Structure 1
């Protein structure tokens, strides 16, 4: 689940008029911010317009999946920099320390400075260039299998979806007989993502497609609406719309006549969509990776409570935040409106005797109220997968990590309780894995980008072995 309940801010880069000369600090710089026992990668980008009259600054926080955070340049000359990031209440001041370089060359050195946020100061040293992220599982060409670009049209509005169909190793030399191999449609989580489900510099679906191809299984992954080469279409995007897109993908795979079983694999929101396909008897098998088993508003309340507790707030204060959030979301779903979210939040805090909450909670909750009006979120808040799970009779593999804070593993228990009995079902919780099914320390989203593993190897193995176990012997 890529979506977090947070303030939605427009990332509009602010500018300042440049001085008479071009700064040699222009370009990208990266460094590690050490704070509170944790390390966070930050990337600063300094650039100009085409006439080099305006200088611009924006920041990325790749470990948190945040890009293009706007900033303001206070000073940027040949050896000094001072910037502010209003959105974060932060600032940075630094000075270039040069290494020995030939005359006329670009600087080889580092910016030594101080990052300030909410009155706290942290040393931050920036090196020139972008950070190099190690992703050892990401496959590199040439590949021992064939892939082709394909398109199919969604039944929701006819929007054309674009994707990659990957055949297993040996398919073209008849070692894998056409019509006797399984195929899997991959469905991403919430938020707009490309066909690789790329997030936090990881490409889970690319890694998964490569693994499946090397183990005798075909796959189709596709760009979400408005991403990559897929059309945006004309309808409002909700989970129901995304299901219609996935259904078109399933039917496209069947139309090829090359696969004896066509299943669906979904991550997070995609893990809910696979049960919608299962209940409609459109999939021969389904795999729900960190998929919901509870109603949407309940998931968001539990998600926020767990993340606050992991962030160091007391369980009591996190519970109070959750109670106010739950009441507020119920009102939103019921159609309640207000011109003063702040007054609404204050009244709920008083009514629920929830004054003991994390610092800044009232302002945050007021911002949350204003940010959950989009069709996707309103649909998600009141949607429950219970009916679809209880009506799914095809083989199901539902999995989750024990440290998943976004769709907590309690969802697996709901799936287990609701799912009709079946001889091929597998419901499994993996110790020490997070929402992306990575081995982790805390499960916090801030870890996702720092972890080199894209998907835990045991998860990949279990998925391929389970799919192959469904094949006729």
Structure 2
């Protein structure tokens, strides 16, 4: 979802959807840090790795704590759109921050370039499996096969669309130790798109066009038309993914986190996860004050402009992730 929902961010190049015009958002003041406070460079080493298979072999980076291990391991799963391994949004690199922060705390992390980033021009009519799931499952396999990784302590950590799909990926890649859902959407994707358009105060005429398109899409009458450049099949595929059901099926520890300033994934989304998993043991839900969708601190009304301001993932987010991952046997 990150690519679709941050489609409106000035710094985000989204695919398969083109950008749309938007009004200037209210100014947000981000509190950047000069360096990621959670990182200790000497505490880990970095290695280039490959994920998947031809014709879509992906480039990736593995950060491994210093020492002999075996270490717990994490696979980071991006939101939608053609993200690189750092999930770069303008000058911000949240996956790099998380990977190096966790590896500074004794956890190995694998992150990789998405198929839509590395092979975008070669892809047409791809599914959610093609975009995310297949490669994420392969990445879990890569991590489990490493001698310095404890194969029974591998976790799937997803962000945005990757968070929605993290339980499904974990089930398909079983056994895994658990999953972390960072800003998971809890509504159909077209409802998320319309909610963000309204939040951004898109002109009424433009909003009406989107509402009409969404109406056709929901009724199965969009035909060869598109929503934000993506065909009906893509949106229907996305809407069919039931993260809550997969989380119930996983039956492993789950941590769900959301930033209090996240206008893309809201309390409404979190409520659907809380209610859907109310009877499931080992589920923890955390809201992080002052954090936006990228888990970077800021103040004021949030908007896409702040993604162009340099910052780093909040240290308390990295600390919470590390505490959760290290506490599971």
Q: State the 1:279 CA deviation.
A: 3.9
**Corresponding position of 2:63:** 166
Structure 1 segment 308-327 matched on structure 2, within 5 A: 308=201, 321=207, 325-326=210-211
2: CA distance, partners of 1:264 / 1:420 = 21
Q: State the 1:137 CA deviation.
A: 1.9
Is 1:278 the counterpart of 2:224? The answer is no
RCO higher in structure (CA 8 A, sep ≥6): 2
Aligned-residue CA RMSD in angstroms?
3.6
More strand by share: 1
Decide which of 316, 321, 329 is 2:214's aligned counterpart.
329
For the 8 Å contact 2:157–2:181, the answer to whether it is kept is yes
Is 1:238 the counterpart of 2:131? The answer is no
2: CA distance, partners of 1:5 / 1:197 = 12
Is 1:253 the counterpart of 2:143? The answer is yes
In structure 2, the CA distance between the partners of 1:327 and 1:337, relative to structure 1 (3 Å rule), is closer
Is 1:269 the counterpart of 2:161? The answer is yes
| Structure showing greater Rg | 1
Q: State the 1:185 CA deviation.
A: 0.2
Decide which of 292, 295, 304 is 2:188's aligned counterpart.
295
In structure 2, the CA distance between the partners of 1:274 and 1:386, relative to structure 1 (3 Å rule), is same
The alignment partner of 2:273 has SS state of helix
2: CA distance, partners of 1:377 / 1:185 = 25
Q: State the 1:199 CA deviation.
A: 1.0
TM-score w.r.t. the length of structure 2 is: 0.80
Structure 2 unaligned regions, length at least 5: 14-19, 24-31
Structure 1 unaligned regions, length at least 5: 8-62, 68-86, 90-116, 118-132, 342-367
In structure 2, the CA distance between the partners of 1:279 and 1:296, relative to structure 1 (3 Å rule), is farther
Is 1:227 the counterpart of 2:117? The answer is yes
Decide which of 35, 45, 51 is 1:136's aligned counterpart.
35
TM-score w.r.t. the length of structure 1 is: 0.57
For the 8 Å contact 2:38–2:101, the answer to whether it is kept is no
1: CA distance, partners of 2:7 / 2:38 = 34
**Corresponding position of 1:211:** 101
Q: State the 1:211 CA deviation.
A: 0.6
Q: Give CA deviations for 1:126-171 in whole Å, capped at 9, x if unaligned.
A: xxxxxxx9753289996442111111325xx752122111111x32
Q: Give CA deviations for 1:395-453 in whole Å, capped at 9, x if unaligned.
A: 10111112211122321111112126454321111232211112222121111222x43
Q: State the 1:459 CA deviation.
A: 1.0
The alignment partner of 1:199 has SS state of coil
1: CA distance, partners of 2:121 / 2:139 = 16
Structure 1 segment 383-462 matched on structure 2, within 5 A: 383-419=241-277, 421-440=279-298, 441-450=300-309, 452-462=310-320
In structure 2, the CA distance between the partners of 1:460 and 1:66, relative to structure 1 (3 Å rule), is closer
Q: Give CA deviations for 1:343-390 in whole Å, capped at 9, x if unaligned.
A: xxxxxxxxxxxxxxxxxxxxxxxxx75734275445335544343233
Q: State the 1:301 CA deviation.
A: 2.4
The alignment partner of 2:295 has SS state of coil
1: CA distance, partners of 2:223 / 2:99 = 47
Q: Report the more deviating stretch, 375-384 or 201-210.
A: 375-384
Q: State the 1:325 CA deviation.
A: 4.3
For the 8 Å contact 1:263–1:284, the answer to whether it is kept is yes
For the 8 Å contact 1:395–1:424, the answer to whether it is kept is yes
Q: Give CA deviations for 1:270-305 in whole Å, capped at 9, x if unaligned.
A: 101202123444532111111122222222222223
The alignment partner of 1:262 has SS state of strand
Number of equivalenced pairs = 310
Structure 1 segment 36-185 matched on structure 2, within 5 A: 64-65=10-11, 136-137=35-36, 143-154=42-53, 159-168=56-65, 170-171=66-67, 174=68, 177-178=69-70, 181-185=71-75
2: CA distance, partners of 1:88 / 1:292 = 23
